[in-house]
Structure formats: C-alpha cells, structure tokens
Amino acid sequence: MARIIVVTSGKGGVGKTTTSAAISMGLALKGYRTAVIDFDVGLRNLDLIMGCERRVVYDFVNVINGEAALNQALIKDKRCDKLFILPASQTRDKDSLTSEGVGKVLGDLSKDFDYIVCDSPAGIERGAMLAMYYADDAIVVTNPEVSSVRDSDRMLGILASKSRRAERGEEPIKEYLLLTRYSPHRVKLGEMLSVEDVQDILSLHLLGVIPESKAVLNASNSGVPVILDEKSDAGQAFSDVVRRYLGEDVTHRFIELEKKSLFGRLFGG
Amino acid sequence: MADYSGASMGLLDYFRNTRPSTAAIAKERLQILVAHERSERNKPDYLPMLQQELLEVIRKYVDVDQDAISVTMEQDDKREILELNIILPDESQRKKPTKRGGD
C-alpha cells in the first residue's frame, strides 16, 4: 500500500510543483518507489520541471479513459530508477478527471509504489479537490505573505471536511506546513512574516523552510528538481524536508540570517 | 557630511521604533481574518434557520428589526458556545405591548 501525499496551497505560484518535483525525487533517492502525478489538467507543468516534457506520450486522462495502460503513461525518471512521473493532459478539460477514475488510478499505483505524490493545481476546483481527496498526508506550501497564508488556512478547512478520510470518519489527513520563498533578511527588517508568525496563525506542524533562492529558477530552467542541486541552500533545505517527513529529527536551517564571518564583517559591509 | 548622516540615522531609528513593521501589521490582519473565516466555516448549517425562527418568536412579544438578532457559534478546545444576541429597541419604540396577563 502506498502512502498518498498531496502537495497543495490554494494560491498559485507558491511552489507546489517545485516542491512536488523535489520531494518525489528525494523519496526516490532514499530508495522508495515513488510516483508523482500532475493534477493540473489543461496546464501541465510538472513534466517541464522534471525535465521529461519530450517523453510524454500518454497522460493521466488517457489512463482514466482507458486509452492507455498505466505503465504506458508512466515516465521513468532518467536520473533515478525508483521515480515515475504521470503527466497531466494538456488538451483536455479539467472536468475529464472523475473521482472514480482518479481513485482507480491511485488504487492501481498503490500496488506497486511506496509513495504517490499528488501535485495539486491552484484554486479549489475539481483538479485541486481530487488531488487532495484520497490523500493520507498533506504538505501545505505557503509563502510568508498574507494572501498565501489565508488561502492555506482555507485549504486546511477543505482537507478537514472534504477528503475521503473526513467523509468516512477516519483518522484525519496529516497536515504539514512547508514555508517557501523565505527571506531571513527581510524577516529581520520586519518586512516579512516570520516562521513563528505563520505557525501562530496556521498552527501546523512545520516540515521545513525553503529559503528564497536563485537555485530554484536555475533548476526549473534546466528541468532538474532543485533537490539534486546539493550545493544550493534550497536543495539542502528540501533534502532536510524529505528526511523530516521520513521521521528523522533534523534541525531547521535557513531560518536565521547567516552570521557573517569576521572577514565578511570587516570587508563585506 | 558625517553629521548629517548621523542625524538621518537617528531619524530613521525614531520611525522604526514608533511605527509597527509591515510584518506585524500583516500578522494582526491575518489573525483577525483567519479567526473570522474559521468561525464561519465551522458554523452548523442550521444556524440561519434557528436565527429566523428565534426572530419570529421574539417578534410575538417585542417589535425588533430583522437584523436585531445575531446567532453565533464559537468553539474552543473544550466546548462549543452558542451565543444569541438580541438588541431590544428603545422603550419609546416598543410598539407591541405584551398581551400576556390581564389587561
């Protein structure tokens, strides 16, 4: 049985796809058979972030409609053989996702995989609702910014009331906060909500903080999940996140301004 | 030159100390908004009906406005509180005397 993780946020542009790509790669690198699914039907992008856009033949909707078998649509990652990508359809309507269809695909994947990562589209329409419906765990991606925090809270309400677990009265979805695009410098200046501020408002278990980083754009430019950029701050932060998700006790990094070395203090200004 | 820059730093510090940071403003706005939106979404569906029926009962005795009644549900860890608020009109505006008792 696979564990189903939804990466969600409500608001767009906060880093859901970047996070889905990084976390699914991280889990696969740890040796877990992992599938990552793009639920953004009509606006697929996970393929591009994963760097497999030219290898898409069949997609999620083809599988739901019985036009392709699951193993025909799954794209095996070239860097890690434990990772498979199921792309969204680019041409279909978002209404082509049906609850039964999604449930069947997730059920079939569950037999072969340890983790299934569902990359949710923005908003709270059908794609987003189905991405979270079957989830066991939710990673709520939030920017330290008012509209993102508000939308995350709205999403928490939906996770608690509209998921399969909620409908069946089962143990609720485990919710984790991932704070992205964080700038310790701006927090120190009083220009940005701090980790503590966001946690005070959302009262969520903090899975990690991803600093605002040039590495993220560089990674998406080249179609490489940023977690593979092991030298970068964002890459290391995502590695920590995966280890924490798997139950390791890893101290949070990239939250405080890095102390300048004596040399930096003398000459860096 | 050095004197001027020193003065402007002092001025900057003055403003920093007196004005709340934008992050503090953001936090306060969010705390109010999120608390409100959570209470809205935790409302049971029967609240509007309850409010309407209560209004009808109260109107038998007192002439109150449609919006003179508010019914709210609040939750904390231990309990749920159903709060009923009725704003009665001034003595002079009470048109319906109670019909109870001998007259």
List Cβ neighbours of B12 (8 Å cut-off, separation of 6 or more). Answer: none
List Cβ neighbours of A123 (8 Å cut-off, separation of 6 or more). Answer: A10, A12
pLDDT digits (tens, 9 = 90+) for A126-138: 999 999 999 999 9
Say yes or no: A204 contacts chain B, CB-CB below 8 A: no
The ipTM, to two decimals, is 0.87
Say yes or no: A196 contacts chain B, CB-CB below 8 A: no
Among residues A233, A269, A153, A87, the alpha carbon closest in space to that of B39 is found at A153
Q: Which residue has the tokens 């040399």?
A: A263
Cα separation, A245 vs A25, in Å, equals 13
Mutate to test the interface with A, among B34, B37, B45, B77 (most CBs of A within 10 A): B34
Among residues A179, A138, A139, the alpha carbon closest in space to that of A14 is found at A179
Among residues A128, A255, A259, the alpha carbon closest in space to that of A179 is found at A255
Say yes or no: B12 contacts chain A, CB-CB below 8 A: no
Distance to chain A for B50, nearest Cα, Å: 23
Q: What is the pLDDT of residue B2?
A: 45
- Taking an 8 Å cut-off on Cβ atoms, the answer to whether A193 and B27 are in contact is yes
Task: Name the closest residue on chain B to residue A152, using Cα atoms.
Answer: B34
Say yes or no: A81 contacts chain B, CB-CB below 8 A: no
Q: Is the pTM of this model over 0.90?
A: no
Q: How many other CB atoms are there within 10 angstroms of residue A256's CB atom? A: 11
Cα angle A17, A18, A19; round to 5: 85
Exposure class string for A100-113: b at 16+ Cβ within 10 A, else e: ebbeebbeebbeeb
pLDDT digits (tens, 9 = 90+) for A210-265: 999 999 999 999 999 999 999 999 999 999 999 999 999 999 999 998 766 666 66
Sign, Cα dihedral of A160, A161, A164, A168: positive
- Taking an 8 Å cut-off on Cβ atoms, the answer to whether A201 and B41 are in contact is no
